[in-house]
Amino acid sequence: MKSLVELQNEIESLTVQAQELRAKEFDRTLAEIVATLRAFGITLAQVRAAMKMAAKGSSKGKAKGKIKAKGPRGRKAKAVTGKKTVKAKAAKSGVRKPAPIKFRGPNGETWSGRGKTPKWLKAAVDAGQSAASFKI
């Protein structure tokens, strides 16, 4: 079994080796990144926008997407999330406009008509009332 001093010396030696290796790999990795950026024609503005989007998405649990700082022919910036395309400003803010209310219950409950039918409406329909009677 090694002594404490021997282990501390070994840790110090390994730390120095790790820092040297990181410095070598850093330069190589940076060169690979630059080559990839050039190959795809990616600009620094696009990288910054993507990093902001990734930071917002990972820290707040928001939907993640890719941002194009400038599209083809210099068009406005857009965010691409799956198959849908949304303006970058809306995607950056992460705030969606709430769906308009389409149904109002007898006790003031509301429903936009999207998603699962609320219990109050289901109970009213089961009791014989029409869903249309709650429509606003």
Number of helices (H), then strands (E), belonging to the chain: the values are 4, 5
Look up the pTM and report it: 0.32
Rounded to whole angstroms, how far apart are CA atoms 77 and 85?
Answer: 10
pLDDT tens digit sequence for 29-84? 999 999 999 999 999 999 999 999 998 876 554 444 455 555 555 555 555 555 55
Distance CA 57, CA 60 (A): 6
Tokens of 54: 């990734």
